Amino acid sequence: MSVICGILRSHCRSESQLHSCIQSSLNIHHHPPNYICTKWKMCAVVLSGPHWVFLQLTYGPFHPTLSDREQFPFLYQMAPEDTSLPLAMVSLILHFSWNWVGLAISDSDQGTQFLSYLRTEMEKSMLCFAFVNMIPLNMRLYMSRAEVYYNQILTSSTNVVIIYGDTDSTLSVSFKMWTSRGIQRIWVTTSQWEVTTSKNDFSPELFHGTLAFAHHHAEISGFKHFIQTVNPLKYSDKYLARLEWMNFNCGVSAFMCKTLRNCSSNDSLGWLLAQTFDMAFSDDSYDIYNAVYTMAHIYHETLLQPMDNKEVPHTNCLKMNSLLRKIHFTNPVGNRMNMNQKEKLQPEYDIFQIWNFPNGLSLKVKIGMFSPYFPQGQQLHLYEDILEWATGSRQMPPSMCSADCGPGFRKFRQEGMAACCFDCSPCPENEVSNETNVDQCVKCPEGQYANAEQIQCIDKAVSFLSYEDPLGMALTLMALCFSAFTSVVLGIFIKHHDTPLVKANNRNLSYTLLISLIFCFLCPFLFIGCPNAPSCILQQITFGMVFTVAVSTVLAKTVTVLLAFKVTTPGRRMRYYLIPRASKFIIVICTLIQIILCAIWLGISPPFIDIDAKSEQSHIIIVCSKGSTIVFHCVLGYHGSLALGSFIVAFLARNLPDTFNEAKLLTFSMLVFCSVWVTFLPVYHSTKGKVMVAVEVFSILASSAGLLGCIFIPKCYIILLRPERNSLQKLKEKTSY
């Protein structure tokens, strides 16, 4: 038996040439190199590239068509199927935060299958193709489109391009044209594409090189030493120049082959170290290495079987084919070999980074590896220290269609754009995003609000008119001062209750009015502080009642003045009997009406605590809702009607002749009172939260202060500072003060 190991592609390009090459090699007068074979019955086994589909063992990239056992029953591919290569490339792309990559592949079965696998993996990870160039194998068709492919990659915004295909195809021609024209990209490809360039415009500031995936295999023992010490003249120069397993990174021309003859017998391949020379097996070389060991095992198994001299070569080849399907062994470097394609393990990959320097020089560094057998997320392992040493940084140039939308923004896709291409828009009001490239912002819960950057939700502060608040503190001080001042006025009137001025202005009504004003000034304390259910009811009911008493008392005073001068004549007993009873009836009836209104209010829709989380972004407002707004406005309207009645009556009695006639003071006090509450309504409805409460409190204080100031301050002035006017003599005078 014999194995023909050779590089037949250079001379045997057709089937007839291949048969000629094989017959020439098997001629008994020309033995295969390094082999001496006797005239046994032989089954020729040829190791070649993937293009000779009728051969038994092939090396080079896995071809899906050749895996059809029915069509090619005697063909075995040494290379494993690259089913995990797309996942490995996608894992690397994700590691460097790329999402916008180009793809250039051969328009072949291999390219189509690779594109299908790669597209599936990229869609899972939300990655996008900037372009997909399927380079036709036909040279004439390729040349008609070459400029289109060039312009597409030149104008594309991506910095990363995946190259996959045969190095002897038109894709290789296209790739060489791109690099020769100065297109600088990060080329992600397989080990077959370790191509150096001769450009002199090398820029070390930014990495533009090759990231190559190679099948992982252990180092061949003694190989480096052999390469460094081998003497070329010990072997035929023709075969030495064509040994692909040496993986020269430069072409070996006929001139160089002649040069080899001139080398002295003591020279080794050390002189080649000036060229870019890889001391490790390439994938193709390793496939040939495994093919040789596979056939060695087959021969060993065949020799152990009984030999039938009558056996024809065809029968012998069938036995070898049967053995090939079943054989499995461990090669010298420790890798498991199994020729059953269905049982082959998925390959692991070494990842190399290749710097292309000027003048054809390159630097190849292993920066990591990929194993499909590790758990998800741990399959890719990069040597960060080596990566930093090789590039000067652990960061690669970016390759993204759109800049990341940072926290506080969301992606906004326009129709017709790729998934990786988008605009960034700020999150809507009260929505946040604390991650990068989110499709939708998250609305903050009702008790929280978005901060200024819209990256997190913050708990809302509870807002109400508190005593610690400057506004609440000011209103509290005003309420205390006015109530204290009213108490002082009441004390003055009680102390001088026998003076003509106090008696002439109906001291009982004055006492009632002053006491009701004290409660009016104390009423704001029900509005200030954290609201609760009882305080919400009390503040409105108390406000309605005490103001009804105060205003009805003013009405009683005005009616008393009018009755004193219009209904009766001075000196009659009826005057002294009618006036006190009229004032009491007015106060009781008016208060009773207000009680009825408040009872209706409590029965229909009483005030309650209202938690408003929407009016202010950063606060939860706690206020007392009025409940039935209709009844609330009825209460205010009732106060207004009493004030208006008091104003009209006081206005009619303003010119009555009496030294101590207070009709003018009552008229002015009602004018102030009505002005305050007319102003209150629009202001109250245009504010929210604690400001709305403060407006109501201020209106209570202002209207109460108006009554106190207009009615009692002039009297206190006479009592304290002008006592000579507080006498019977002045009372009898017909002049007014």
Q: Mean pLDDT for the chain?
A: 77
Instruction: Encode pLDDT of 452-510 as tens digits.
Output: 889 999 888 888 888 988 999 999 999 999 999 999 999 999 998 888 888 877 888 88
Q: What is the 3-state secondary structure (H, E, C) of 252-305?
A: CCHHHHHHHHCCCCCCCHHHHHHCCECCCCCHHHHHHHHHHHHHHHHHHHHHHC
Q: What is the pLDDT of residue 167?
A: 80
Asked whether 547 and 512 are in contact (CB, 8 A), the reply is no
- Least confident span in 62-76, 128-142, 685-699: 62-76
Q: Where in the chain is the domain with CATH 1.20.1070.10?
A: 470-732
Asked whether 689 and 621 are in contact (CB, 8 A), the reply is yes
Instruction: Encode pLDDT of 620-635 as tens digits.
Output: 888 888 888 898 888 8
Give the span between the Cα atoms of 188 and 162, in whole angstroms.
5
Give the span between the Cα atoms of 683 and 213, in whole angstroms.
75
Report the top-level CATH class of 85-216+347-391: alpha beta
Supply 35's token pair. Answer: 């082999």
Q: Where in the chain is the domain with CATH 3.40.50.2300?
A: 85-216+347-391
Asked whether 364 and 370 are in contact (CB, 8 A), the reply is no
For residues 421-431, give the mean pLDDT: 89
Detail the DSSP E strand segments found in 311-438.
Answer: 328-330, 336-338, 349-356, 362-370, 380-382, 409-412, 423-426, 431-432
Choose among 734, 730, 736, 737: nearest CA to 503.
Answer: 730
Report the top-level CATH class of 470-732: mainly alpha
Strand partners, 625: 608
For residues 195-212, give the mean pLDDT: 57
For residues 212-230, give the mean pLDDT: 75
For residues 427-444, give the mean pLDDT: 90
- Calculate the alpha carbon distances from 377 to 88, 381, 479, 485 in Å: 11, 10, 69, 79
Considering only residues 629 and 317, tell me which one the structure prediction assigns the higher pLDDT. Answer: 629
Instruction: Encode pLDDT of 645-683 as tens digits.
Output: 888 887 777 666 655 567 788 888 888 888 888 888 888
Asked whether 163 and 187 are in contact (CB, 8 A), the reply is yes
pLDDT band for 39, please (50, 70, 90 cuts): very low
Q: What is the pLDDT of residue 280?
A: 59
Asked whether 360 and 250 are in contact (CB, 8 A), the reply is yes
Give the span between the Cα atoms of 9 and 121, in whole angstroms.
35
Give the span between the Cα atoms of 709 and 716, in whole angstroms.
10
SS3 of 480, please? helix
Asked whether 554 and 670 are in contact (CB, 8 A), the reply is yes
Supply 140's token pair. Answer: 């004439």
- Calculate the alpha carbon distances from 639 to 374, 540, 552, 595, 696 in Å: 83, 13, 9, 13, 14
Instruction: Encode pLDDT of 80-121 as tens digits.
Output: 777 889 999 999 999 988 989 999 999 988 889 899 999 999
Crossing angle of helices 533-566 and 629-652, rounded to 10°? 20
The residue assigned the tokens 């001629």 is 27
